[in-house]
Amino acid sequence: MSKRDYYEVLGVSRDSAEAEIKKAYRRIAMKNHPDRNPDNQEAEDKFKEANEAFEVLSDSEKRSRYDQYGHSGVEGQTSQGYADFGDIFGDIFGDIFGGGRGGGRSGVTKGADLRYNLELDLEEAVKGKTTKIKIPTTVSCEDCDGSGAKPGTKPIDCATCNGHGQVRMQQGFFSVQQTCPRCHGAGKQIKDPCTNCRGQGSVDETKTLSVKVPAGVDTGDRIRLTGEGQAGARGGPSGDLYVEMHVMPHQIFQRDGRDLHCEIPISFIDAAVGGELEVPTLDGRVKLKIPSETQTGKLFRLRSKGVTPIRGGGRGDLLCRVVVETPVNLTGRQKEILEEFRKIQESEGKKQSPRSSSWFDGVKKFVDGLRA
């Protein structure tokens, strides 16, 4: 059966550049790769056909003979399928499974990202602040501009891989491409290393950065500072710095999203007859009116005294939970007054302790039920 024109197989014109041919091949190969199309003979045939076409058109000598003589000019010089496993694994499998060759043949790679844990008081998190932080990191060497070579010199092509970063090994029928063991994929060697960075292209440094913390942040929120991470290799771009917020526990308030919570101790007299208290908020003190006969656990909501979230929305509230406090260190006179109060309460026979009365009623019914 006659073969299709290789340019037609890849869907490119006869004057297409090498980059365009490779792009077309990658697109077809990824779509029809056997790992993506198990038990699909049609896809496998298309994959083999594209691989054969690319093997010829990506080689300048083979392409020239093909342009002159057609398939007869390259007959016997193609592998009819999975010829160049090095390129397939590096380019196709890398795209399919998220791998790849890392920095590529040039050795230029982006620097690593960094994380900094920034501790904040609740007030700082709610209102925002600008602070300075010190970051131990690596920065591009100024003497060699990150190349690692002595000023006035340049890295030379690796003698093992001739600057390709990859070496090809023949294993029987297969040709396997691997990272060059000498230059580790960079494709370059530094003959005269920079004395400042010792050929690394980067130096250790402690940077002082100004960080603007917006109002309303909470624990786990992050600020990204682009380019403030580790320096890239061989002049590559620097990574990023992520400043992560950690809000410290507060002695009075607990945060729950946009709301704040606190407990307020009140005397049993204020709880019984009512009163007025000064309550702390993040904006200052406000007066809170306590009605008579207030019980422990009663919640009072102070509108718009909470937090304005960083992601938008109205300001939250402050919820105050009162706790009735039993007096201690009573004087003799105070005890006399309280004893007198108890006698009056008992003589009048009124249920002035609703929770206590209902609880004892429940206990009585439970015990009577056991006896029955």
- Convert the pLDDT of each residue in 285-318 to its tens digit: 999 999 998 999 999 999 999 999 888 889 999 9
- What's the pLDDT score for residue 104? 43
Q: Which residues contact 197 (CB under 8 A, 6 or more apart)?
A: 141, 143, 144, 148, 203
Residue 24, both tokens = 């077309």
Which CATH number is correct for 254-325, 3.40.50.460, 3.30.450.20, 3.90.1150.10, 2.60.260.20?
2.60.260.20
Q: Which amino acid appears at position 2 of this protein? A: S
pTM of this structure: 0.55
- What's the pLDDT score for residue 89? 40
Q: Are 236 and 150 in contact (CB under 8 A)?
A: no
Q: Are 314 and 221 in contact (CB under 8 A)?
A: no
**Residue segments in the chain with a per-residue pLDDT below the cut of 50:** 80-106
**Using CA atoms, how far apart are residues 237 and 232, in angstroms rounded to an integer?**
5
Q: Which position has the token pair 């003959």?
A: 191
CA-wise closest residue to 116 among 35, 40, 230: 230
**How many C-beta atoms lie closer than 10 Å to residue 258's C-beta?**
17
Domains 6-97 and 254-325 alike in fold: no
HSE, CB side, 13 Å, CA atoms: give it for residue 147: 18
- What's the pLDDT score for residue 109? 74
- What's the pLDDT score for residue 281? 94
- What's the pLDDT score for residue 100? 40
Per-domain boundaries in the chain: 6-97, 105-151+198-248, 156-189, 254-325, 332-367
- Convert the pLDDT of each residue in 322-362 to its tens digit: 999 999 999 999 999 999 988 888 787 656 666 666 666 67
**Three-state helix/strand/coil letters over the chain:** CCCCCHHHHHCCCCCCCHHHHHHHHHHHHHHHCCCCCCCCHHHHHHHHHHHHHHHHHCCHHHHHHHHHHHHHHCCCCCCCCCCEHHHHHHHHHHHHHCCCCCCCCCCCECCCCEEEEEEECHHHHHHCEEEEEEEEEEEECCCCCCCCECCCCCCEECCCCCCCCEEEEEECCEEEEEECCCCCCCCEECCCECCCCCCCCEEEEEEEEEEEECCCCCCCCEEEECCCCCCCECCCCCCCEEEEEEECCCCCCEEECCEEEEEEEEEHHHHHHCEEEEEEECCEEEEEEECCCCCCCCEEEECCCCCCCCCCCCCCCEEEEEEEECCCCCCHHHHHHHHHHHHHHHHHCCCCCHHHHHHHHHHHHHHHHHHC
**Using CA atoms, how far apart are residues 353 and 339, in angstroms rounded to an integer?**
16
Instruction: Name the architecture of domain 105-151+198-248.
Output: Sandwich (2.60)
Residue 45, both tokens = 């045939």
- What's the pLDDT score for residue 351? 62
Q: Which amino acid appears at position 11 of this protein? A: G
Q: Which residues contact 330 (CB under 8 A, 6 or more apart)?
A: 338
- What's the pLDDT score for residue 175? 62
- What's the pLDDT score for residue 349? 62
Helix pair angle (41-57, 60-69), 10° resolution: 100
Q: Which residues contact 87 (CB under 8 A, 6 or more apart)?
A: 177
**Using CA atoms, how far apart are residues 109 and 213, in angstroms rounded to an integer?**
30
As a CATH number, domain 6-97 is 1.10.287.110
- What's the pLDDT score for residue 95? 41
**Using CA atoms, how far apart are residues 70 and 5, in angstroms rounded to an integer?**
8
